[in-house]
Amino acid sequence: MLGRGGTLKVFAGLPLAWLAAFFVLPLLLIGAFSLRGGAGALGPAEPWAVSFEQYAEALDTPAFMRLLGVSVLMAVGIAGLATLLAYPIAYFLAFRAGARAPLFLTLLLVPFAVSYLLRVMAWKLMLGPEGGINSLLATLGLTDDPLELLLYSRPAVIITLVYVWIPFATLPIYAAMQRVDRSHLEAAADLGAGPWARFWRVTVPLSVPGALATFFMVFIPTVGEYVTPTLVGGADGIMYGNIIQGFFTRSANWPLGSAMAMIMLALTLVVVAIALRVIDLRRVTP
C-alpha cells in the first residue's frame, strides 16, 4: 500500500500524465510526420525517410505564408476586441454588481450550456441576407439591399469569434480585479483622486495581468481556428487552420499538414515571446 506521501505523488503526477498523453505525445507525432519524406502519410512512401521537403514547400508557397500572416493579424484583432469588450463586463462584476455578482456571472456562463456549433450557426443566421442584423438595418432605413459582406467574409469570422470568446475573456480579468486591494482605492480617494483617476491609476494597472492573460488565451487558439471560418467565412474568410485541416482530411497529406502546423505553432510562440518581452510582466504584476 502507498503511504500518504506516495498517494500525493501519484495524484500530483496525474496532470503531468494527462499533458504527456494529450499534448506532448500528439505534438511529437505531428513533428515526426512533418519530417517524413514521400507523398502523403497514408500511401506508399520510403520507410520513414527524414526530409525537410514539406517545410520547404510550406515556406516557399506565397499563398500559404500570406494566409498565415492574415490569420495572425485576425487573431490579434479578435483577441484585442474580446479583451476590450470583456473589460467593462469584468469591471461591472467586480465593482458594481455587489451581491448580484454570482447571478450575473451565471448569466455570463449560460452560453456554455449551448453547443459551440449551435452558437456559430446562430450567428450565421443573424448575419445572413434575411437575418436579424440586415432586417434591423432595413427597418431603420439604413440600407435598401442586404449587406453581403456580413456573411461569408472575414468580418463575419471576426464578429462571431469575438462573441464566442467574450465569456472566456471576462473571467481572467474579473479574477484580477477581484484581487485588487480595495484599500488602495480608498487611499487614492483620501488623496483626492476622483473616480476616473482611481480607475486609470489604480484599477487598470493592477488588472493588467488579467487583461494580458485574456489576450493570449484568445490569441493562441484563434490563430489555428478553422471551424468558424468554415461555417461563416466561406471562401473569402478562410484561415490558415482551414488549409491544415484540408491536408489532414481531403488531401490526406499528413506530412505537409504537420509541417504547416509546426510552422504555425513556432510563429505563435515567437509572437507570444516577443510580446511578453516587450511588455515585461515584472513591471505590470502587482
Cα–Cα dist 286/283, whole Å: 8
pLDDT digits (tens, 9 = 90+) for 157-189: 999 999 999 999 999 999 999 988 888 888 888
Structural domain contains residue 22: no
Cα–Cα dist 165/111, whole Å: 11
User: Who contacts 197 (Cβ-Cβ below 8 Å, separation ≥6)?
Assistant: 188
Structural domain contains residue 145: yes
pLDDT reading at 2 higher than 60: no
Nearest to 213 by CA among 71, 78, 83: 83
pLDDT reading at 5 higher than 70: no
pLDDT digits (tens, 9 = 90+) for 10-64: 677 787 788 778 888 888 989 988 888 765 555 445 566 778 889 999 999 999 9
Structural domain contains residue 16: no
Structural domain contains residue 29: no
Structural domain contains residue 207: yes
Structural domain contains residue 11: no
Structural domain contains residue 229: yes
User: Who contacts 38 (Cβ-Cβ below 8 Å, separation ≥6)?
Assistant: 44, 45, 46, 49, 51, 255
Nearest to 271 by CA among 215, 226, 227, 225: 215
Cα–Cα dist 78/181, whole Å: 30
Asked if 166 and 85 count as a contact pair (C-beta separation under 8 A), the reply is yes
The grid coordinates listed for 229 are 471560418
Phi then psi dihedrals of residue 36, to 5 deg: -85, 130
What are the beta bridge partners of residue 50? 36
Structural domain contains residue 140: yes
Q: How many domains does the chain divide into?
A: 1
Average pLDDT, the chain: 86
pLDDT digits (tens, 9 = 90+) for 105-142: 999 989 888 888 999 999 988 888 888 888 888 888 87
What is the domain range of residue 205? Answer: 55-284
The H-or-E segment that residue 60 falls in is helix 53-60
Residue type, 28: L
pLDDT reading at 267 higher than 70: yes
pLDDT digits (tens, 9 = 90+) for 219-244: 999 999 999 999 999 888 999 999 99
Q: Looking up cell 509546426, which residue turns up?
A: 262
| Domain CATH code at residue 179 | 1.10.3720.10
